[in-house]
């Protein structure tokens, strides 16, 4: 009697139970796959957020470094201008004492904000100067000081050969200065 079992349920019921078990297995595996998908999506989103924060932090550092470089660039430009002026002064000092005296006296008449691009002094003490002035006020001060009574002890004539205004608003000019009585 132990091997004998009687099943009084209809055959359709057994088929329905098997289908229901398959459906439950599919449903559980679908839920597990959906949970895995949600976990992966949230992990990827969290990873992207972390990376975007890191990128923005790095961009901030890059901007700070660029600002440091730009601040150093301005001081480098000033140092280059000063170096050029010093080398120009040394060149003139080596060329002769009469020219050195004339250069020193005339360069003291040129305001500090006016940049001397080129300067040449011939043996008779006449000068050709190319300058860059940041504005009209500094240009007017320079011309006023070169044409003052004190300057005419050194200078007999000042010729303005050219005057132009650059895109950046700076004035460029070429001057010829004829030395006066020594």
Could you read off the pLDDT of 49-99 as tens digits, one per residue?
Answer: 999 999 999 999 999 999 988 888 888 888 888 888 888 777 766 655 556
108 part of a folded domain? yes
81 part of a folded domain? yes
Residues 163 and 110 in one domain: yes
Provide the percentage of residues in the chain whose pLDDT is more than 90: 26
* DSSP category for residue 27: H
Strand partners, 133: 171
Mean of all residue pLDDT scores within the chain: 84
Reported in sequence order, the residue ranges of 28-88 that DSSP labels E, i.e. its strands, are: none
Among the three residues 95, 113, 136, which one is the final residue of a domain in this structure?
95
1 part of a folded domain? no
Residues 89 and 154 in one domain: no
Residues 18 and 71 in one domain: yes
Q: Would you tell me how many other CB atoms lie within 10 Å of the CB of residue 81?
A: 13
Residues 111 and 132 in one domain: yes
Residues 43 and 106 in one domain: no
20 part of a folded domain? yes
- How many domains does one find in the chain? 2
7 part of a folded domain? no
Residues 58 and 131 in one domain: no
3 part of a folded domain? no
What confidence tens digit (pLDDT) does each residue in 96-124 have? Answer: 555 666 677 777 778 888 888 888 777 66
Is a pLDDT exceeding 90 seen at residue 8? no
Residues 68 and 128 in one domain: no
The pLDDT value given to residue 92: 63
Residues 79 and 146 in one domain: no
Reported in sequence order, the residue ranges of the chain that DSSP labels E, i.e. its strands, are: 115-121, 127-133, 155-165, 171-179
Give the integer Cα–Cα distance in Å for 179 and 128.
Answer: 11
Give the integer Cα–Cα distance in Å for 86 and 93.
Answer: 10
Provide mean pLDDT across the span 174-179: 84
Is a pLDDT exceeding 70 seen at residue 12? yes
Question: In terms of residue numbers, what domain contains 128?
Answer: 96-179
Is the pTM higher than 0.75? The answer reads: no
Among the three residues 42, 60, 95, which one is the final residue of a domain in this structure?
95
Q: Which CATH number belongs to the domain containing residue 166 in this structure?
A: 3.30.1360.100
Residues 144 and 173 in one domain: yes
């Amino acid at each position: 009697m132990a091997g004998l079992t009687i099943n009084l349920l209809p055959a359709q019921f057994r088929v329905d139970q098997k289908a229901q078990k398959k459906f439950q297995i599919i449903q559980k595996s679908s839920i597990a796959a959906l949970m895995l998908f949600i976990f992966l999506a949230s992990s990827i989103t969290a990873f992207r957020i972390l990376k975007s924060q890191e990128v923005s932090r790095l961009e901030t550092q890059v901007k700070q470094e660029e600002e440091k470089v730009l601040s150093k660039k301005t001081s480098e430009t000033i140092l280059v201008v000063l170096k050029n002026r010093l080398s120009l002064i040394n060149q003139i000092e080596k060329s002769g004492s009469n020219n050195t005296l004339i250069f020193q006296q005339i360069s003291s008449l040129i305001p500090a904000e006016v940049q001397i691009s080129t300067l040449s002094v011939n043996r008779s003490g006449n000068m050709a100067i190319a300058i860059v002035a940041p504005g009209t006020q500094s240009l007017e001060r320079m011309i006023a000081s070169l044409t003052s009574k004190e300057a005419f002890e050194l200078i007999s004539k000042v010729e303005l050969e050219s005057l132009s205004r650059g895109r950046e608003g700076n004035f460029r000019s070429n001057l010829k200065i004829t030395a006066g009585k020594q």
